[in-house]
Chain A
Amino acid sequence: MDQIIGNIGLLFEFPIVNLKILLDGIMIGALFALAAYGLALVWGVMNVKNLAQGDFVIAGGYIAWTLDQNGIQPLLGIPAAFLVMWVIGWITYKLVIKRVIERDLFTSLLATFGLAIMFAQIMNLMFGSDTQSIQLDMPTLYFADGFIDVPMSKLVGVVTALSLAFAVILFMKRSRMGQAIRATAQDARAARVLGIDTDKVYSFTFSLNAAICGAAGAIIVMAWVIQPFYGITYSIRAFVIVTAAGLGNLPGVIAAGLGIGALEQYGSHIFGIGYQQAIAVLLLLLVLFIRLLQQRRKRQVLQ
């Protein structure tokens, strides 16, 4: 308890800490948002809750890391991870996801849970269980007497993450495929009647999701560290964010992602870093509770 009060005291004693915490939070939050973003798509369009989300992220990280080990400029790892994960996503769709779309909730949860375990174990066998990271030869910017540090690698990561997010929003709004995806999300049967090949839409959406996750992973490995079993961290955050923002609300996902990043950093400053994950889950509970209250009058049948 004393420590908690002391930690809160620090926030007021050194106001600059707040800025530092916010910056750190936003930088990690942008990547949570990116992972959540693909989940919102898949969840909204196909009604599949992909528990392997975080493992796609880590797989993307390992793709970038492997390229870096072979002397390829790490920034090229981002598009490379995007492409490779697109293909892996497509294969996963054809082999597994396709068969569970029309099934009930638990089938898709179980299937993707199995996928998550398998992905983690395959990565463990391929790359070993050590933590890996890529060291970019980029300077770190310092402000406020060196108290606030902004590594260029993180800055590059955040900018890339946000531009990727906006590119996807534009794509969904403007392109033909984007329209088809949105139409399928609204009513798959009607879309089929109107001549949209929903199977193609599904496989495209799932591949896009895997690709976005892959890119996020390639950024994470440059700014933080990855390990085959870290996927769950990103899966949990992605679920919290999507639940908070609601399906199909892509700008909301970005806002929620940044918000969770910042709140987690505040939480871990005040209560200790051991409670970081707990704070994320607590937020999920809070959001669900508020949602429940909001919808109390609006009873619906779940399909």
Chain B
Amino acid sequence: MKTLRNLGVSIVAASALFGATTAMAEACETITLGAAISLTGKYATNGVHAKNGYEYAFQKIKEAGGVKIDGKCYNFSTIYYDDESKGDRGATLAERLINQDGVQYMLGPYSSGLTKAIAPVTEQYKIPMVEAEGASRSLFNKGYKYLFAVLSTSEQYLASAVALAAEQAEKEGKDPSSVKVAIAVENDPFSLDIRAGVLDDAEKFGMKVVLDEKLPRDLSDMSAILTKVKLLKPDVLIVSGHSKGAATAVRQIGEQRISTPMIAVTHCEAADVVGNFGKAANDILCSTQWAETLSYEDELFGTAAEYEAGFKEAFPEYTNKTVPYQVAQASAAVYVFKDAFERAGTLDKEAVRDAIAATELDTFYGKIKFSEAGNNIAKPMVLRQIQDGKYNVVAPSKFASHKLNWPRKAQ
């Protein structure tokens, strides 16, 4: 009976395969990637963004005829596991993907913390991992050889705001060292990197840091900090605390009528500060890895704007939102794999690893070129300012589409 059923299944499968082959003229084989990603838990929102980014890239690659390796064509498929936003779970799942599912190549999880948990495992088994969502610079000083990240590291996120403030001070005829900086960041690896980057740059200009506070993990009230900001009157206020930090900060900056001339925040888009707080968000600077208005492009996805339009078509739930950069960089990571496989011309993972390391790729997401340590050194961070409810690129000046509104007034 069982054999009979199996026979039936294989006949069905064979005819399906036959149908597919005749339809596509050439059947592609499959390259299986593995990913432990946060589908539940505190990173679930961004975890799902990343997964959608991966899926969209697979779809585009399939439409474009797959990955061509040594004359044969392949498509990507992925085994996803839910890491529940927990590091230990992530590491266990990575082991399982490698040992039980026999995965040879990995895509990254969401967040620096999870990447940090998984990287030692992939390193041990010499499995190349291209990740798109872990930006902490501490990932790239451990000498990992199989870890590659397409995004800019986190100390660059808001450092450019300091440079921008110095530029403005010079325009006013003042010395950049007269600029006072206030920093409020969450006590996690990502935000502490941001703080380190800002401190480095502030020191370079000789600026004075008048306020330097750590935000608690479960932040819902930062009026104590903002009260001090009112008293100390800094020229730049830096806030980083993921979505919740951005939401709390923007809401209370509005309520307390904070009139700091320059306020820079991370995760504005993820917290949807414009939709939630409207006018209070005006003239706030937001750092981003990528924006759909940038002039990057590639063969697979087209321009950044075309990527956004195509993605919205494939995932209609994003229709009325800005596509977050977390999605774009996930797609870029898959693109790196495709490019590396084609250049390597083999499925051997060592050869693929070397091909990834030698990547020099122009993409819709920006230039990708890895340093020895595995981080992308070719793409700058972008600062956008919220002007009348729109995110407009104001720095770096090479890509700026709009002028900076300065000084910011209390709204």
A contact set with B: CB distance below 8 Å: 3, 7, 10, 14, 17, 20-21, 24, 28, 121, 124-125, 128-131, 133, 135, 140, 142, 146-147, 149, 151, 220, 224-230, 232-233, 265, 268-269, 272-274, 276-277
Nearest chain A CB to B357's CB is how many angstroms away?
35
Which single member of B215, B221, B223, B256 contacts A274 (CB below 8 Å)?
Answer: B215
CB of B248 within 8 A of CB of A225, answer yes
For B, the interface residue count at a CB cutoff of 8 angstroms equals 39
CB closest residue in chain B, given A150: B255
Q: What 3 A-B pairs come out closest when comparing CB atoms?
A: A274-B214, A131-B244, A268-B224
CB closest residue in chain A, given B225: A273
With contact pairs A225-B220, A233-B220 given, residues A273 and B214 touching in the complex (Cβ less than 8 Å): yes
Interface string of B75-92 (1 = CB under 8 A from A): 000000000000000000
CB closest residue in chain B, given A277: B216
CB of A131 within 8 A of CB of B255, answer no
A147 partner residues in chain B, CB cutoff 8 A: 230
Task: Give B232-280 interface residues, CB cut-off 8 Å to A.
Answer: 243-244, 247-248, 251, 255-257, 270-272, 276-278
Which single member of B214, B243, B247, B271 contacts A272 (CB below 8 Å)?
Answer: B214
CB of B221 within 8 A of CB of A124, answer no
CB of A151 within 8 A of CB of B216, answer no
CB of A129 within 8 A of CB of B257, answer no
Interface string of B92-108 (1 = CB under 8 A from A): 00000000000000000
A73 to B212, CA, bound (A): 39
A200 to B323, CA, bound (A): 52
Chain A to chain B contacts (Cβ below 8 Å), 19 pairs? A21-B227, A24-B224, A24-B227, A124-B40, A124-B42, A124-B44, A129-B43, A131-B248, A133-B247, A149-B257, A225-B244, A227-B218, A269-B228, A272-B213, A273-B214, A273-B215, A273-B216, A273-B222, A277-B216
A10 to B224, CA, bound (A): 12
CB of B243 within 8 A of CB of A229, answer no
A149 partner residues in chain B, CB cutoff 8 A: 255-257
A232 partner residues in chain B, CB cutoff 8 A: 218
Interface string of B190-229 (1 = CB under 8 A from A): 0000000000000000000000111110111111110110
A149 to B218, CA, bound (A): 23
CB of A20 within 8 A of CB of B227, answer yes
CB closest residue in chain B, given A13: B231
Within 8 Å of chain A (Cβ to Cβ): is B407? no
A128 partner residues in chain B, CB cutoff 8 A: 44-45
A121, A226, A274: which has the most chain B beta carbons within 10 Å? A274
A224 to B276, CA, bound (A): 12
Nearest chain B CB to A64's CB is how many angstroms away?
15
B216 partner residues in chain A, CB cutoff 8 A: 273-274, 276-277
With contact pairs A10-B231, A14-B231, A225-B251 given, residues A277 and B224 touching in the complex (Cβ less than 8 Å): no
CB of A135 within 8 A of CB of B247, answer no
A149 to B45, CA, bound (A): 33
A248 to B97, CA, bound (A): 54
A224, A230, A265: which has the most chain B beta carbons within 10 Å? A224
CB closest residue in chain B, given A121: B40
CB of A229 within 8 A of CB of B218, answer yes
A130 to B19, CA, bound (A): 45
Within 8 Å of chain A (Cβ to Cβ): is B32? no
Nearest chain A CB to B33's CB is how many angstroms away?
25
A272 partner residues in chain B, CB cutoff 8 A: 213-214
CB of A130 within 8 A of CB of B243, answer yes
Within 8 Å of chain A (Cβ to Cβ): is B405? no
Task: Give B1-57 interface residues, CB cut-off 8 Å to A.
Answer: 40-45
CB of A224 within 8 A of CB of B221, answer yes
CB of A233 within 8 A of CB of B218, answer yes
CB of A24 within 8 A of CB of B277, answer no
With contact pairs A10-B231, A149-B256, A232-B218 given, residues A130 and B224 touching in the complex (Cβ less than 8 Å): no
B276 partner residues in chain A, CB cutoff 8 A: 133, 135
CB of A230 within 8 A of CB of B218, answer yes
CB closest residue in chain A, given B85: A129
CB of B224 within 8 A of CB of A265, answer yes
A21 partner residues in chain B, CB cutoff 8 A: 224, 227
Interface string of B275-298 (1 = CB under 8 A from A): 011100000000000000000000
A10 to B371, CA, bound (A): 46
A39 to B37, CA, bound (A): 37
With contact pairs A140-B255, A149-B257, A229-B42 given, residues A273 and B224 touching in the complex (Cβ less than 8 Å): yes
CB closest residue in chain A, given B271: A131
Within 8 Å of chain A (Cβ to Cβ): is B187? yes
B216, B223, B244: which has the most chain A beta carbons within 10 Å? B223
CB of A129 within 8 A of CB of B44, answer yes
CB closest residue in chain B, given A267: B224
- 12 further A-B contacts with Cβ under 8 Å, apart from A229-B42, A269-B228, are A14-B231, A133-B251, A135-B276, A146-B257, A227-B244, A229-B218, A269-B227, A272-B213, A273-B215, A273-B225, A274-B187, A274-B213
Which single member of B45, B215, B220 contacts A224 (CB below 8 Å)?
Answer: B220
CB closest residue in chain B, given A232: B218
A146 partner residues in chain B, CB cutoff 8 A: 257
